Chains A and B, each alone.
Chain A
């Protein structure tokens, strides 16, 4: 089952522009994490935002979380060709010993040099 839907499914922008990806989820969460995956490779953890946080920054990344709307957004500023990848949001519904991640469907981001 898919907890989240990501929007858009695919995004192509020019290098240097900002990229915004959105994620919606269905159930109450403990935290929400964003991961990057280069084609068919491993999942790289980008950033974690807790349910009591509204915004978080890490380098060129900015994540927002709106628990009332059950949605999150990931903004990548000043995009680079190396940012080309698929981006997934993942949520966990905290229950001790039961912090499995439920992933969204992913956004495939292409940065055009």
Chain B
């Protein structure tokens, strides 16, 4: 079965640079969620989209923005990167008729 795809899997950036993370949900899933997991931490909700509209927002810095496109893929844009942004970034998708969120493999972002 198709799973959530995230790219890139690993990303290394310098402070103050920008990064774009991509997420391709499971086909026919209309809701996408982004989570951030710092080292040794539990995942924290950042933002979600339903049918290409932002549906909820968590502890997402103003330096970050995200959107969901017409093909339902989503991108998380991160600017003015800081050392503290180093983390695993997960995307999850959900079929609007179900409750289970299926997670992608994550993008490991390292900010030097």
Q: Does B56 contact A (CB under 8 A)?
A: yes
A102 to B: closest C-beta gap in Å? 7
Q: Provided the pairs A40-B108, A41-B105, A42-B104 are in contact, do residues A100 and B90 lie with their beta carbons within 8 angstroms?
A: no
Segment of A29-37, A59-67, A68-76 engaged in the interface with chain B? A29-37
Q: Which residues 54-113 of A have a CB within 8 angstroms of B?
A: 88, 90, 92, 97-106
Q: Which residues 17-73 of B have a CB within 8 angstroms of A?
A: 31, 33, 35, 42-45, 48, 50, 55-56, 58
Q: Is the CB of A100 within 8 A of B42?
A: no
Q: Does A48 contact B (CB under 8 A)?
A: yes
Partner of B99, one of A42, A48, A97: A48
Q: Does A26 contact B (CB under 8 A)?
A: no
A-contact bits for B78-107, CB 8 A (1 contact / 0 none): 000000000010101010000111111110
**Total number of B residues with any Cβ neighbor in A under 8 Å:** 25
Q: Does A52 contact B (CB under 8 A)?
A: no
Q: Is the CB of B55 within 8 A of A33?
A: no
In the complex, number of A-B residue pairs with CB atoms less than 8 Å apart: 61
CA distance A43 to B88 in the complex (A): 11
CA distance A77 to B90 in the complex (A): 29
B85 to A: closest C-beta gap in Å? 17
Q: Is the CB of A43 within 8 A of B45?
A: no
Partner of A43, one of B31, B50, B90, B94: B90
CA distance A104 to B55 in the complex (A): 23
List residues of A whose CB falls within 8 A of some B CB.
Answer: 2, 30-31, 33, 35, 40-45, 48, 50, 88, 90, 92, 97-106
- Please give 6 more A-B residue pairs, beta carbons under 8 A apart, in addition to A45-B103, A101-B101: A33-B101, A42-B104, A92-B99, A100-B56, A105-B42, A106-B42
> 29 A-B pairs, CB-CB below 8 angstroms?
A33-B99, A40-B88, A41-B105, A41-B106, A42-B103, A42-B105, A43-B43, A43-B92, A43-B103, A44-B103, A45-B100, A45-B103, A88-B43, A97-B50, A97-B55, A97-B56, A98-B55, A98-B56, A99-B48, A99-B94, A99-B101, A100-B45, A100-B48, A101-B33, A101-B45, A102-B45, A103-B42, A103-B43, A104-B42
